Amino acid sequence: MFSKLQQSFKKLERAKVGSFGNDIESPKGRRAAMWHFHLVDHAFLRGLWTNLDQIAPQVWRSNQPGPARVERYAKMGIKTIINLRGTPNVSHYLLERQACAAHGIALESLALKARHAAKTEDYLALLDLFDRVEKPFLMHCKSGADRAGLASAFYLLHACGASVPEARKQLHIRYMHLSTTKTGVLDYLLDCFEADLARLGPIPLRDWLTHHYDRKAVNDGFTPRWGRK
């Protein structure tokens, strides 16, 4: 029973049930999309809790913004938003894309994972975004806890020369990141990088990802303290 309910909820979240949440062009569709955004994507929880934090000069992180918050970010001077949730045809992305276009913010999108280490090319694409996007920029995932945390750690390592212990602070309970659950695989990824630094000497993050990062080994090597693997 619980499994069926969970599957139904996931289908709703991905807008696979009718057209609920994947139309913002008509007034009726936009209203439905806003309901989807607030209830299914949990935007009602993000009304006051934005998880907004500045991690470096001209670089910010947060959870998923709605249209009103995109407007506020534009007034803050944000020039680019990096969306780490991909480009699904569903409320959160459609509303964000529309709001960014309306307020002159460039929207860059990349699909990362919270409970599994991602492909090498995805992480390298993230570093490429860091190198080319216009600042000030903001990066976000859904809650601003896990994918945004790893991306922030990567930015500090790649662009600021931070140490792994310093970068690891971006994956912290203060952002609602839990290292004891499946999302702890992101902490373990940084552990693997740190271990290779100790073994091989200084390696830029891009070089490590290109030549030493082993996605399968990271995913297979991590066991969460809570929840099944």
Pick the CATH number of 51-221 from 1.10.3720.10, 3.90.1150.10, 3.30.70.2190, 3.90.190.10: 3.90.190.10
Residue range 98-104: average pLDDT? 96
Q: With 60 as the cut, is the pLDDT of residue 222 above it?
A: yes
- For residues 191 and 75, what is the distance between their CA atoms, to the nearest angstrom? 38
Task: Read off the amino acid at residue 80.
Answer: T
Quick one: what percent of the chain has pLDDT higher than 90?
A: 72
Q: With 60 as the cut, is the pLDDT of residue 97 above it?
A: yes
Full 3-state SS string of 150-173: HHHHHHHHHHCCCCHHHHHCCCCH
Residue with tokens 């045809």: 89
What is the DSSP annotation of 95-107?
Answer: HHHHHHHHHT-EE
H-helix or E-strand spanning residue 145: none
- For residues 166 and 52, what is the distance between their CA atoms, to the nearest angstrom? 19
Cis, peptide link before residue 136, omega less than 30° from 0? yes
pLDDT of residue 2: 35
Q: Are 60 and 139 in contact (CB under 8 A)?
A: yes
pLDDT of residue 170: 98
pLDDT of residue 29: 65
Q: pLDDT, tens digit, for every residue of 164-196?
A: 999 999 999 999 999 999 999 999 999 999 999
Mean pLDDT computed over every residue of the chain: 88
pLDDT of residue 89: 84
Q: pLDDT, tens digit, for every residue of 67-79?
A: 999 999 999 999 9
178 Cβ neighbours under 8 A, 6+ residues apart: 145, 184, 226
pLDDT of residue 128: 98
Q: Are 218 and 117 in contact (CB under 8 A)?
A: yes
Residue range 34-60: average pLDDT? 83
Q: With 80 as the cut, is the pLDDT of residue 14 above it?
A: no
pLDDT of residue 216: 97
Q: pLDDT, tens digit, for every residue of 125-172?
A: 999 999 999 999 999 999 999 999 999 999 999 999 999 999 999 999
Q: With 60 as the cut, is the pLDDT of residue 4 above it?
A: no
